[in-house]
Structure 1
Amino acid sequence: MKKMLAAALYGLPLFATPALAADGPALFQANCSVCHQGNAQGLPGQFPPLAGRIGKIAATPEGRNYVIAVALNGLMGSITAQGNSYAGFMPPFKTLPDDQIAAILNHVAGLPAGPDATLFTAADIAAGRTESLTPTTVAEKRKALDAQHPLP
């Protein structure tokens, strides 16, 4: 009874719905847009663009693993994206559930104009959690990947 009253007073749903976890656009807006902007175009010199890049990077298994590593462990150091240099720190988002991280990554992989991609699953994110990396190590992983498959 108290739960129902609290839900009614605060306009909260009584039960969490799985659809909320699968809402990539809303999750991106809530967790990523403050830096990468609402359209995932980034801010030149400050935050790299994601739109038009994540799907290309994730086209190889190594690229998919790298994207997952960034989402889970963050990234620290200098990178180049679309010919522009960025030096900074992206925080890890490992506190988010696996299905939410997958939904965010699928949303971004489909940008700028397409529907959400289906490249990442919650199981992929869970597998990525088995490798504990520092943000600096993720940057080193990026350099190795870029040497193997030039990143956009």
Structure 2
Amino acid sequence: MTFFKRLHPALLAASGAALFLTACTPKSGAGLYGTNCGICHHGGDGMPGAVPPLVGRIDRIASTPEGRKYLADVLMNGVSGPIKANGQPYEAEMPPFRYLQDEQVAQILTWLSSRGQTSPTPQITTADIAAARTTRKSAGMVALEREELDHKAPLP
């Protein structure tokens, strides 16, 4: 007798329902990050000189409305050119992630924000992402937005 035939029918039905519900549950911010951002940014620590770290920075950037707008613009439009993160120079190209839904992008950014020290954790909303989606910008324009924001208040 196979393993499945020995299972009680009610247990088998319950496990099937649990698998179905799990498959239908939206991915968490951590899961979405892993499949979309982790390829380059790894666990959030980046790669020295190539890809900036995100952990401990996103929460600080997201603590102002201008910072949340910038983060939403980065995910919707990408960013390119030299930047400094935690005082270290980086030269990277980040592609846009417009293929993700607004809720998914908000989940990723809020999850990253939660990994920092800012309390309460800054939240990036679906409305923040939807607003950024309405205006297409070049990756270079987003880099200029970062530069302007950095002049107002130095970015981490």
Shorter-chain-normalised TM-score: which range?
A: 0.7 to 0.9
Q: Which of the numbers 20, 30, 44 marks the counterpart of 2:26?
A: 20
Three-state SS of the structure 1 residue aligned to 2:26 is helix
Tell me what 1:146 maps to: 150
Tell me what 1:5 maps to: none
Tell me what 1:69 maps to: 73
Deviation at 1:124, TM superposition (A): 1.6
Q: Where do residues 73-88 of structure 1 align in structure 2 (5 Å cutoff)?
A: 73-88=77-92
Whole-Å separation in 2 of the counterparts to 1:86 and 1:13: 43
Whole-Å separation in 2 of the counterparts to 1:140 and 1:14: 44
Q: Where do residues 87-102 of structure 1 align in structure 2 (5 Å cutoff)?
A: 87-102=91-106
Three-state SS of the structure 1 residue aligned to 2:55 is coil
Task: Write the letter of the residue equivalent to 2:89.
Answer: S
Tell me what 1:29 maps to: 34
Q: How many residues were matched structurally?
A: 138
Deviation at 1:20, TM superposition (A): 1.3
**Which stretches of structure 1, 4 residues or longer, exceed 6 Å deviation after superposition?**
113-116
Contact 2:63 2:122 in 1 (8 A): no
Deviation at 1:105, TM superposition (A): 0.3
Higher helix share: 2
Contact 1:107 1:117 in 2 (8 A): no
Q: Which of the numbers 49, 52, 56 marks the counterpart of 1:45?
A: 49
CA RMSD of aligned residues (A): 2.2
Using the aligned pairs only, state the percent identity.
44
Q: Which of the numbers 126, 129, 133 marks the counterpart of 1:129?
A: 133
Q: Which runs of 5+ in 1 are unaligned?
A: 1-11
Contact 1:27 1:100 in 2 (8 A): yes
Task: Write the letter of the residue equivalent to 2:147.
Answer: K
Q: Taking structure 1 as the reference length, what is the TM-score of the superposition?
A: 0.83
Tell me what 1:4 maps to: none
Q: Taking structure 2 as the reference length, what is the TM-score of the superposition?
A: 0.81
Given the superposition, is the C-alpha separation of residues 115 and 93 from structure 1 closer, same or farther in structure 2, using an over 3 Å criterion?
farther
Contact 2:69 2:132 in 1 (8 A): yes
Deviation at 1:46, TM superposition (A): 0.9
Contact 1:25 1:107 in 2 (8 A): yes
Task: Write the letter of the residue equivalent to 1:24.
Answer: G
Tell me what 1:120 maps to: 124
Kindly provide the CA deviation profile for residues 9-42 of structure 1, in whole angstroms up to 9, marking residues without a partner as x: xxx959963x414x1000000000111112x011
